[in-house]
Structure 1
């Protein structure tokens, strides 16, 4: 325990915390593999191996959390296909992406298939060497249900003269009612409603859009929206669906070895009172949250010529899946949560990272003391 306490003390006494904003983020890797490679077949992937140990003498957990293999194939200069196959916890197999891309130009592409919903930062950039900390932010689990992907069709492009990237899709939505039961609940909002392309149902198409501006050196700004209604496997059941309106804002700023990043997501759900009365669930009518991250990569202070990165980072996040409730449903203060994460991030090679961090968890319930947690892990992206 002494070595973990020492790490926590070091992190607490550090004034500036950081992780360098890696140039090889996930979408750039995909674009490089699919569109800038002379070979027809391309291969990539990422791995996340975690160790988590709650305080209080509880048993730690070692896990190959995710192993994802990416395959891309260029049929021609215009037509390509990409898929990612994910294995979670060594036993659960998912398809993370599977879509066809038709490229008219840099400014306009058509896509169709199983794709990531562009909301916030981590849902699109979720490889371990890219995001802060051993585990993904809580906001990107309970508010944005990462990894969030659905079946759909849409357009993407890069308007280089405007320094603006855009995405616009029509997706199938979350499923809120299946096999005679409600799927959505207060503790994790929309997360249990992800269909993930597995025998999905659709009768209410949903709109997803995002714009990313990169015209100022070091600064990236994103705004995203998601609008529609949930799905039911029996639409004749009255009040089995709810309306969804989600707005997301994200920003990052990189100046030399200093990185600042923030994200805010706000979701309004309509029809939750009737939905809860039908299903017996406790779904809130408003879900929202934010996080702020900051830091500094200090290894260049020791060796100016190094290609490695040794960073201290921090994140504060607050999120509430019961920000508001409808009807007679009482707000559950346990769903009003905030986390602080402080940690070390050592990139020993491009695409390979070793991490260690400590998390303090809290909620709005008086007198409670959730277990804090030490985490460590290895992440690989290629």
Structure 2
């Protein structure tokens, strides 16, 4: 229960051809674990989730050292010497509004290779009023590890802001600005900055055609035009 896309990630449910970089590199969507969870809800629109589960197993060397996304074990044959706990509180008491705060703690995200405790904090807001939509998200990792600190990866964070407008039931246009930095522990290291402008065309509630233009700057300069088709069943 972390982020916007991780639990609901099929192509018709999000804008743009690719998932945004923040919910790919900082929150490694799609991210699933084995464990147990308890959920509850109060009458005032507040709900909560608490889970104890298997955790990450990030590499400590090579080109993907301390890359969060590379630590996903996807349950099968997952090492679980160091479990993780995740909690979320969410407010949906106002029509069209969702506010959410999540936290995840793991005592060692290297599963015994190094004593590397890590904490993820994430907050997001979703607002929909008529044809206008807005999504905003911030996520931050704090990794207590000498090895990660030497690479500047003891701090990793990112955010994005995504307004959208539904022209009708089929066509939605959007813009998204995002920044994320996987080596934020080194002062002066630039973040990846990306602007996306695009359109979704839903020909069916489960089928969507997508097109967008991306303009990157900062730590990466990967500009491009993307086309895609997605479906769910």
Q: How many residues align?
A: 233
Residue 152 (structure 1) aligns with: 35
Higher helix share: 1
The Cα of 1:227 is off from its aligned counterpart by 0.8
CA separation of 1:202 and 1:254: change in aligned 2, threshold 3 A: same
Inter-partner Cα distance in structure 2 for 1:183 and 1:194: 16
Q: Within 5 Å, which residues of 2 pair with 1:110-121?
A: 118-121=1-4
1:322 equivalent in alignment to 2:175: no
Secondary structure at the aligned position of 1:248 is classed as: strand
The Cα of 1:162 is off from its aligned counterpart by 2.4
Q: Normalising by structure 1, report the TM-score.
A: 0.57
2:206 to 337, 351, 357: 351
Could you say what the CA RMSD is over the residues aligned between the two structures, in angstroms? 2.2
Structure 1, residues 339-366: CA drift from partner, whole Å, max 9, x if none? 11100111112122111111111114xx
Contact conserved, 1:175 with 1:183, CA < 8 A, in 2? no
Structure 1, residues 243-281: CA drift from partner, whole Å, max 9, x if none? 11111001011110000110000111102x2x359xxx8
Secondary structure at the aligned position of 2:70 is classed as: helix
The Cα of 1:175 is off from its aligned counterpart by 1.1
Q: Normalising by structure 2, report the TM-score.
A: 0.91
**Which protein has the larger Cα radius of gyration, Structure 1 or Structure 2?**
1
CA separation of 1:232 and 1:259: change in aligned 2, threshold 3 A: closer
2:49 to 167, 172, 175: 167
Residue 225 (structure 2) aligns with: 374
Inter-partner Cα distance in structure 2 for 1:332 and 1:175: 28
Contact conserved, 2:136 with 2:159, CA < 8 A, in 1? yes
CA separation of 1:183 and 1:157: change in aligned 2, threshold 3 A: farther
Contact conserved, 2:89 with 2:102, CA < 8 A, in 1? yes
1:193 equivalent in alignment to 2:71: yes
1:258 to 119, 122, 132: 132
Inter-partner Cα distance in structure 2 for 1:165 and 1:381: 27
1:124 equivalent in alignment to 2:2: no
The Cα of 1:164 is off from its aligned counterpart by 2.2
Inter-partner Cα distance in structure 2 for 1:185 and 1:177: 5
Residue 298 (structure 1) aligns with: 167
Inter-partner Cα distance in structure 2 for 1:224 and 1:377: 31
**Consecutive aligned runs of 4 or more in structure 1 exceeding 4 Å deviation:** 181-184
CA separation of 1:177 and 1:375: change in aligned 2, threshold 3 A: closer
Residue 362 (structure 1) aligns with: 217
Inter-partner Cα distance in structure 1 for 2:132 and 2:163: 8
Residue 241 (structure 1) aligns with: 115
The Cα of 1:183 is off from its aligned counterpart by 8.6
Residue 189 (structure 2) aligns with: 333
The Cα of 1:333 is off from its aligned counterpart by 2.9
Secondary structure at the aligned position of 2:33 is classed as: strand
Structure 1, residues 73-132: CA drift from partner, whole Å, max 9, x if none? xxxxxxxxxxxxxxxxxxxxxxxxxxxxxxxxxxxxxxxxxxxxx111011121101111
Q: Within 5 Å, which residues of 2 pair with 1:1-382?
A: 118-159=1-42, 161-176=43-58, 185=65, 189-232=67-110, 235=112, 240-271=114-145, 273=146, 275-276=147-148, 282=151, 284-299=153-168, 308-325=169-186, 333=189, 336-364=191-219, 370-382=221-233
Inter-partner Cα distance in structure 1 for 2:172 and 2:230: 15
